[in-house]
Amino acid sequence: MDRRRRSFLAGGAAAGAAVAVPGGSARAQTRTFTPEEFGAKGDGVANDTSAFQALALAVNQAGGGTVEFRRTTYLVGRQTPNGKADSLYYFSATPLLEFSKCSKPLVIRGNGAVLRCAPGLRFGIFDLAGRPNNPPMPYLGPGVATPYRFMIRAEKCTGPVSISNIEIDGNLPRLQIGGRYGDTGWQIPHCGIGLVDNRGDEIIENVHCHHHGMDGLVIDGDDSAMRPLPRRTITGLVSDYNGRQGCSLVGGRGYAFSKCKFNRTGRSAVASAPGAGVDIEAEGKLNRDFSFVDCEFVDNYGQGMVADSGDSEGATFTRCLFIGTTSWSTWSFKPRFRFLNCRFVGSAVRPYGDKDPERATQYIDCLFLDDPKLSPTGKVYLGGKPNYPIVDTADAVNVLFSRCTFRLTHNGLLPWGWYSIYANVRMDQAAPVEAYPKGRYLGSNVINGKVDLYGSKIEGTLVVNGRRAGG
């Protein structure tokens, strides 16, 4: 899936190249552009696709500039039937705001504007007559349709890129939905924002990306070890109700997310695996050193956050909330992942183990809960079983729980595993099912509940159901 997905998204670059004009007017002074000067109506009724194309062309020719929107609704997206039975796309998407190789600052000021996909366009697999086609999966044949690949895309810009105060609405419930494509689900580009191989600063502030058939945000960043790294900050992003991911991180270094929400992926007209809030999945590049502060990962079709494939390493989550309602709250099978003062509602699985404790997953000052009242749907995912460990570490070595609290008042069980490290933890389990939080106990620890600790190493103190366990 990785290679296919990357090449399919790269197809957007080929289409976007028609908008970019290489070598365009690098000497021109940075100026301000508005959609209206290129014919946009901005009335939420007229289709402003042609104006958006012309605007992007002018910005690329100028090597950058400021795009200034009004606080109104712009309707965009256009498809062209091609009538060729052997082509991949039966209904070709028209590029929108696709910017390439801007050497000057590229500033997109939304001012509260809404960019909305035109209703009635097709997304999925269709026949040449435009009727939904549902071939058996997996399917990689012709018949693809999508309204656009990206609403906004910035690629290979050396100047800084800034996108702020804008709503990007994929309008998925009002599209015509066709059959599935790929290995599972609808692996067809229909995304809000794409940041690809930019070498300047990348700043996103107060953006709402929602109801796209694929991802709200895709970051396929430059992974070179530039020193110093450019500023790469995403603040106040709300990415919800998208089909496959709230955010896909497929390459890059040092992106910092704060006060973002990655919620309800797969809860609209389509759902595709992984169906995560955030997917940290390197595809032919390196993924390194991400940070998330005060972010939410709630009620996603798949995992709240998943990291499992590709060359990814290093992510820190601080004061984040993970709520799994139909899948795991987190799946963090990559080195150097840290969870600091985070809350987990629902089971977390696949923490990374390593002989080097610094590379193993660490949970510090975290709270683990199983109370359905804390879930927006009243459901808490526990492995699809009546009882399941709140953290399943399996045979991972040196996974650290330091100063963590496990407050399991319903059907959750205490962590399962053999080789974890517990330091100054408090564990309470209400379910009358035996749990197996085996491992190494350091400092002062308390457990209340039915447990089997055979084989554990107690190097500090451990009080189990009011009685001190032996060392």
Coil/strand/helix, residue 14:
helix
Q: Indicate the pLDDT class of residue 323, thresholds 50, 70 and 90.
A: very high
CB of 92 closer than 8 Å to CB of 147 = no
- At 24, is the pLDDT very low, low, confident or very high (cuts 50, 70, 90)? very low
Cis bond upstream, residue 274 (ω within 30): yes
How much is the pLDDT for 225? 82
Q: Is the pLDDT of residue 27 over 60?
A: no
Average pLDDT over residues 126-137: 96
- Diameter of the chain by CA atoms? 79
Cβ neighbours of 93 (radius 10 Å): 26
H-helix or E-strand containing 156? none
Reported as a single tens digit per residue, the pLDDT across 415-471 is 999 999 999 999 999 999 999 999 999 999 999 999 999 999 999 999 999 999 875
pLDDT bracket for residue 10 (50, 70, 90): very low
207 close to 237: Cβ distance less than 8 angstroms: yes
| pLDDT confidence of residue 290 | 98
Give all domains of the chain, ordered by start, each with its CATH number.
Answer: 2-25+33-468 (2.160.20)
Check residue 29 and give its pLDDT: 63
pLDDT tens-digit map of 69-95 = 999 999 999 999 988 888 999 998 999
Which of 89, 62, 94 lies closest to 77, judged by CA? 94
What's the predicted TM-score (pTM) here? 0.93
Contact 190, 220 (CB under 8 A): no
Mean pLDDT for the chain overall: 93
The percent of residues above 90 in pLDDT, for the chain, comes to: 90
